[in-house]
Structure 1
Amino acid sequence: MHVRWLPRHAAYLPVWQAMREFTEARTADTPDEIWLVEHAPVYTLGQAGRPEHLLNAGGIEVVHCDRGGQITYHGPGQIVAYCLFDLRRRGLFVKEYVEQLESVVIDTLAQLGVPGARRKAGAPGVYVPYDPQRAGYDPHGGDLAKIAALGIKIRNGRAYHGLALNVDMDLAPFLGINPCGYEGLATLDLRSCGVACSVGEAGEHLARRLTAHFDR
C-alpha cells in the first residue's frame, strides 16, 4: 500500500478529479493508495446531499461531489485520508468496509487517549462523549459530538473518498450546515478533547492504523 501526502491546503476539486482518474485507470494489479491532505475551506455535498442542510455558506466554496452522505466541511486543521482501495480484491462488502474505517478511527483515538464510538445505524462516522450543557468534550458526557466523518464512492468494486478527522481547527464553519444532515449535531476536534496533536502527526497515526488494518 502506498501512502502519499498531498500539498497543504489543496483545493478540493482537483483532488477529487485525481481520485476519479486514478480509480478509472487502475488495473487488477494496481497497489492501493492512501492520500493524506489538509484541504482549503470547502463544503461538500454527497450524492444524496439536500441543499437545505447548507444553512449559511459564508463565502466558503460549495462542491457537489459523488461520495455518499449529506453535507460536511473540510478545512485547515483537519486531516483527510482518501482511501483508494480495491474492495473486490480484498473481498470486502461496502457495509463491512465502512465499519472497518470507523474501527480504524476509533483505534486511533484510543491511542491518543480519547474514547470514540459509533453513533447509530444510518449515521456513519465516529463520535466522542459530549456534555451539551458545557458545550464541550466530557468523557462521562451523556451525549455525542462528531469528530470524524466518512463518505465513500464505489466504482467497479474500487473505493475512493474516505474519512476526515478534526484535529485542531476552527469549528465555526460547521455551524453553517447541518453536519451530515443532522440538525444541531455538535462537532469537536482533538484539541477540544485535550489532545495536542498536529495535522501531520494525526495523519501519520491514521496512515499507520489504516495500513496495519488493511494489510493484515
Structure 2
Amino acid sequence: MQIQVLGRVDYAATQDAMRAFTEGRHPDTPDQLWLCEHPPVFTLGLAGKAEHVLAPGAVPVVQTNRGGQVTYHGPGQVVAYPLVDLRRLGIYVKEYVFRLELAVIQTLETYGITGHRVPGAPGIYVNLAQPGAHERLVGPRPDPFAGLGKVAALGIKVTRHCTYHGVALNVAMDLSPFSGINPCGYAGLTSVDLATLGVSTDWGTAAARLGERLATHLSP
C-alpha cells in the first residue's frame, strides 16, 4: 500500500480526487492510503437528513456520496482515506469496516485509551469516566451512548469493489462545531478528541500511528 501524507487539503477537491482515482484505477493499480486534515466543513452522507444540521454558522455544508449521516471535519483531526480493491484483498464490506475500526482501536491503545464499538453505530467510542479502562460495554443498554464520547467517525463509499472516503480520528481540535449538528444523526451524542481524554500528541504522530495500523490490516 502506498501511503501519502497530504497535510491540510480542501475537502471537496479531495473527494473529487478520490473519485477520479477510483474511477480510473485498474486491477493492477496499487492501493493507496491518503492521510490528511481539512479546513472546517460539515459533510452530509447519502442518507444524511438536513434536520441533523442544527446550526452550521459559517462552516460550509458539503453533500458527499459516502454512507452515513452528518459529521464535522476540521484542523487537528486525522482523516484517513484508504483507496483499496476489496477483491484483491479478498474481503467484503463488513470485514473492511471491522478492520477500519480495529485500526482505530489499536491506535488508541498506543495512547492508553480503550476504544469501543456500539452495535449499529459505526465509529469508535470511549468511556468518558474511565477512558483507559478495559471493561467491555455490557448490555442491555437502553441508551447505547450513555457515558460515551465519539472519538472517531467512519463513512465509506464502495464502487466496483473499490473503496474511498474512510475514517476520521479526533486528535486535538476545536470541538465546538460538533454542537451545531447531531453527530452521525444522533442527537446529544458527545464528540471528544485525544486532548480531551488527557492525551498529549501531535497530528503527525497520530497520523503515522493510524496509517501504520491501517496499512497492516488492509494489505494482502
Same fold (TM over 0.5): yes
Q: Which residue in the other structure is 1:152 paired with?
A: 156
- Residue 216 of structure 2 is aligned to residue 212 of structure 1: yes
Distance in 2 separating the partners of 1:31 and 1:5: 16
Measure the CA separation in 2 of the matches of 1:86 and 1:150. Answer: 18
Deviation sequence 1:2-36 (CA, Å, 0-9, x none) = 0001142x111000000000000001000100001
Preserved contact between residue 169 and residue 189 of structure 1 (Cα < 8 Å): yes
Q: Specify the SS of the correspondent of 1:28.
A: coil
8 Å CA contact 1:119, 1:144 repeated in 2: no
Verify: 1:129 aligned to 2:127, yes or no: yes
Deviations 1:64-98 (A, max 9, x none): 10000000000001010001000111111111111
Aligned-partner SS, 2:109:
helix
Tell me the residue number matched to 2:5.
Answer: 5
Partner of 2:142: none
Pick from 182, 189, 206: which aligns with 1:185?
189
**Does the 8 Å contact 2:112/2:132 carry over to 1?**
no
1:10-21 matches, cutoff 5 A: 10-21=9-20
CA distance in 1, matches of 2:116, 2:61: 29
Taking the aligned partners of 2:132 and 2:213, their CA distance within structure 1 comes to: 23
User: In 2, distance between residues paired with 1:138 and 1:17?
Assistant: 36
Shift of 1:215: 2.1
Root mean square deviation of aligned Cα: 1.4
Q: Secondary structure at the match of 1:21?
A: helix
Superposition pairs for residues 160-175 of structure 1, below 5 Å?
Answer: 160-175=164-179
Tell me the amino acid that sits aligned with residue 59 of structure 2.
Answer: I
Match for residue 69 of structure 2?
70
Give 5+ residue unaligned stretches, structure 1: 132-136
Corresponding residue SS for 1:193: coil
Q: Secondary structure at the match of 1:68?
A: coil
| 1:96-151 alpha-carbon deviations (Å, 9 max, x no partner) | 1111100110011011110101012x2000000024xxxxx654696211000000
Deviations 1:35-81 (A, max 9, x none): 01110000000000000000000110100100000000000010100
Partner of 2:206: 202
Conserved? CA contact 1:130–1:139, under 8 Å: no
Which residue does the alignment assign to 2:58?
Answer: 59
CA distance in structure 2 between the partners assigned to 1:22 and 1:179 by the alignment: 29
Aligned equivalent of 1:43 = 42
Give the equivalent residue in structure 2 for 1:134.
none
Percent sequence identity over aligned pairs: 53
Q: Supply the AA of the counterpart residue of 2:176.
A: A
> Aligned with 1:170: secondary structure?
coil
Moved over 6 A (4+): none
Contact 1:151–1:162 under 8 Å retained in 2: yes
Give TM-score scaled by structure 1 length: 0.93
Letter in 2 for 1:202: A
Q: Mind listing any 5+ residue stretches in structure 2 that lack a counterpart?
A: 136-145
Residue identity in the other structure for 1:114: I
Task: Check the 8 A contact 1:68/1:152 in 2, yes or no.
Answer: yes
Q: What residue identity is the alignment partner of 1:67?
A: R
